[in-house]
């Protein structure tokens, strides 16, 4: 049963977003309700399977270095590189009404080399973190609402850099979708450029947390929304080579300003998916957060050609739904396919419902769902929706070498749908095989929550899905101590081949990213 956050001492539910369990239950953050401080309305009774009260402090803030971590099992000899994670770790307690998505970014790294694992974490010490650290207090008090900012911070980047990380040009870019990236060193995690604008090539005022890497060229394809100013309808998409040269850019306008958290890139198209998590001006004026869920609005599936100027964009209308993450996407020139986690309604318990209704944990539950549209011949007017399986979860991944291409395997943090008591279903990872339409599940066992998983190929040219699946497990009966579990992605059901045991809790995570040895600097 979900517990409300205790605002006085910042205690949160053990299966919390910050504890790294995001996405394994109904929806993102649905397991945890840290956002209870935000929405003071009651949560529906019995809403969240498995959630329970806990004494884990909400703030973590400890920067950790562990040399040569204890390992159970054997680190595979062919797993060399670094597994990075990032998540919000509030530098100071969140203000009442604020949400966990506004905690300052804290990056962690498992550096894996020749069977040895070193663990390092650092706050992303960008302009926001530095100003607040000097002031000794919060200067940016509300999620994506600059009107409450301390006057002294005008002109500074508001980025928390807390959502995703990606390597580019020997840097680790720490991403928040309302701002340019913050670039840190891949090995030391020290700040290099707090407002990284790709050598002044970044035209958009914002940069997505979900850039893609083109499978053919290795180019990074990215976008920014609210790109020409706070609340603007402009979306700017662009493509940049691994060496950092911008080779394409286009601008389109969304039908309404909704949260464009992720996007899909295929060989030929860019797909935006506009959901009714909308910019709420009245709420902003009241000092609230950027978004609320407007259940009166349709979704819009927006498709435009890569290489074009955006004027060919087609907006295909669909029913009110939420989808925030893409598992994989591809096109066959006529038809475009985008696999997402989809829920009927607001997946975030801490995002307000615009009509004041209670958050609905059932309608907020996400399933992997294939969206597709026929772009040949006559202009399409809508898109199709097909649920692919009964497994729930909100943070799907794929073998990222197959971004933009037809793909076979997807991965998802989930819960055991066959548990005798659904309320006590264990967490686990599931592998989707789209060729056979089957899924394989690894049950992580009791009292364990799992962060998003990430796939690492066995070698740069290994077959699709041949490699390792990893993610951080939080042990609820060990005061939230963290383990990195590493599984053979082709034998998930056999359980971890290695478990990296941390002596402490792992800082919370939204997303993780694997950088193979060959893409790391020497040192
Ligand atoms: C997401 C996360 C965010 C955010 C907007 O997972 C969307 C979705 C951690 O911050 O600001
Ligand atoms: Fe995300």
Residues flanking ligand 1, CB < 6 Å: 28, 88, 101, 162-163, 261, 324, 510
**Which residue has tokens 């701002």?**
179
Phi, psi torsion values for 507, nearest 5 degrees: -60, 150
Counting ligand 1 atoms within 8 A of each CB, the residue from 160, 163, 262 with the most, and so the one to mutate, is 163
CB-CB contact of 128 with 159 (8 Å): yes
User: CA-CA distance, 396 to 387, in Å (whole number)?
Assistant: 14
**What distance in Å separates the CA atoms of residue 483 and residue 486, rounded to the nearest whole number?**
10
Reference 104, options 58, 146, 168; nearest CA is 58
Q: Quick: pLDDT tens for 480-520.
A: 999 999 999 999 999 999 999 999 999 999 999 999 999 99
pLDDT at 58: 74
- C-alpha–C-alpha distance, residues 397 and 457, integer Å: 13
Distance 176 CA to ligand 2 centre (A): 10
pLDDT in the model for residue 380: 74
Mutate to test the pocket of ligand 1, among 16, 510, 512 (most ligand atoms within 8 A of CB): 510
pLDDT of residue 453: 98
- Going from the Cα of 353 to the center of ligand 2, the distance in angstroms, rounded, reads 20
Per-residue pLDDT tens over the stretch 13-64:
323 333 334 433 333 443 332 322 222 222 333 333 333 344 566 789 999 9
Taking CA atoms only, the protein residue closest to ligand 1 atom 1 is: 261
Q: Residue 521 — very low, low, confident or very high, per pLDDT cuts 50/70/90?
A: very high
Q: Can you give the pTM of this predicted structure? A: 0.92
| Sequence ranges of the domains in the chain | 4-519
Atom of ligand 1 nearest to the CA of 395: 6
Nearest ligand 1 atom, CA 28 = 6
Q: Whose CA is nearest to atom 5 of ligand 1?
A: 261
Quick: pLDDT tens for 269-311.
999 999 999 999 999 999 999 999 999 999 999 999 999 999 9
Ligand 1: which of 209, 259, 260, 263 to mutate, judged by most atoms within 8 Å of the beta carbon?
209
The number of the ligand nearest the C-alpha atom of 211 reads: 2
Centre of ligand 1 from the C-alpha of residue 261, in Å: 7
The tokens describing 181, both together, are 């990236």
Alpha-carbon distance 499 to 506, whole Å? Answer: 14
Nearest ligand to the C-alpha atom of residue 106: 1
Residue 382 CA to residue 380 CA, distance in Å, equals 6
Give the dihedral sign, CA 415/429/431/495: negative
User: Nearest ligand to the C-alpha of residue 29?
Assistant: 1
- Which class for 365: exposed (0-12), middle (13-18), buried (19 or more C-beta within 10 A)? buried
Q: What integer pLDDT is reported at residue 20 of this predicted model? A: 38
Query: What pLDDT was estimated at residue 56?
Result: 61
What's the longest Cα–Cα distance across the chain? 61
Token readout for 217 is: 């060229």
Nearest-CA residue for atom 8 of ligand 1:
261
The Cα 233–Cα 227 span in angstroms is 8
Residue 523 CA to ligand 1 center (angstroms) comes to 33
Residues in the chain: 523
Taking only the tens place, the pLDDT of each residue in 318-341 is 999 999 999 999 999 899 999 999
Specify the residue with its C-alpha closest to ligand 1, atom 4.
101
DSSP 128: H
Q: Is pLDDT larger for residue 90 or for residue 379?
A: 90
| Residue where the block lists tokens 């040192």 | 523
Query: Which of the four pLDDT bands, split at 50, 70 and 90, describes residue 419?
Result: very high
Do 139 and 160 form a contact (C-beta atoms < 8 A)? no
Give the mean pLDDT of the chain.
90
């Amino acid at each position: 049963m979900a517990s409300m956050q205790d605002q006085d001492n910042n205690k949160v539910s053990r299966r919390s977003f910050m504890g790294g369990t995001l996405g394994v239950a109904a929806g993102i953050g649905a397991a945890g309700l840290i956002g209870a401080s935000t929405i003071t309305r009651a949560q529906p009774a019995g809403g969240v399977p498995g959630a329970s009260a806990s004494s884990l402090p909400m703030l973590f803030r400890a920067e950790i270095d562990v040399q040569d971590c204890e390992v159970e099992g054997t680190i595979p000899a062919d797993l060399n590189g670094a597994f990075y994670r990032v998540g919000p770790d509030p530098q100071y307690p969140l203000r009442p009404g604020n949400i966990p998505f506004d905690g300052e970014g804290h990056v962690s790294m498992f550096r894996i080399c020749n069977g040895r694992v070193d663990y390092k974490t650092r706050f992303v010490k960008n302009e926001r973190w530095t100003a607040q650290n000097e002031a000794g207090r919060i200067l940016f008090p509300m999620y994506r609402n600059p009107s409450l900012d301390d006057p002294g911070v005008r002109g500074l980047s508001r980025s928390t850099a807390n959502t995703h990380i990606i390597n580019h040009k020997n840097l680790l870019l720490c991403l928040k979708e309302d701002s340019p990236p913050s670039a840190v060193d891949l090995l030391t995690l020290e700040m290099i450029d707090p407002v990284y604008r790709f050598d002044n090539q970044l035209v958009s005022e914002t940069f997505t947390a979900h850039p893609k890497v083109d499978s053919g060229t290795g180019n990074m394809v990215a976008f920014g929304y609210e790109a020409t100013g706070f609340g603007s309808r402009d979306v700017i998409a662009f493509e940049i080579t691994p060496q950092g040269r911008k080779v394409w850019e286009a601008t389109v306008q969304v039908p309404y300003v909704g949260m464009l958290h992720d996007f899909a890139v295929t060989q030929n198209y860019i797909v935006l998916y506009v959901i009714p998590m909308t910019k709420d001006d009245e709420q902003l004026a009241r000092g609230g957060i950027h978004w609320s869920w407007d259940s009166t609005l349709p979704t819009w599936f927006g498709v435009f050609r890569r290489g074009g100027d955006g004027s060919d964009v087609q907006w295909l209308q669909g029913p009110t739904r939420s989808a925030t993450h893409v598992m994989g996407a591809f096109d066959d020139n006529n038809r475009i396919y985008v696999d997402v986690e989809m829920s009927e309604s607001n997946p975030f318990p801490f995002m307000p419902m615009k009509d004041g209704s209670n958050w609905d944990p059932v309608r907020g539950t996400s399933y992997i769902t294939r969206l597709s549209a026929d772009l040949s011949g006559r202009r399409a007017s809508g898109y199709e929706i097909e649920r692919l399986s009964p497994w729930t979860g909100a943070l799907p991944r794929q073998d990222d070498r197959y971004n933009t291409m037809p793909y076979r395997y997807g991965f998802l943090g989930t819960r055991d749908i066959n548990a005798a008591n659904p309320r006590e279903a264990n967490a686990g990872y599931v592998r989707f095989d789209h060729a056979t339409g089957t899924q394989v599940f690894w049950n992580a066992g009791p009292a364990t929550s799992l962060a998003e998983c990430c796939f690492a190929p066995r070698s740069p040219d290994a077959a699709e899905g041949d490699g390792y699946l990893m993610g951080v497990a939080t042990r609820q009966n060990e005061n939230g101590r963290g383990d990195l579990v590493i599984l053979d992605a082709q034998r998930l059901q056999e359980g971890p081949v290695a478990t990296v045991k941390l002596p402490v809790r792992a800082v919370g995570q939204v997303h993780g990213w694997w950088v193979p040895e060959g893409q790391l600097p020497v040192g």
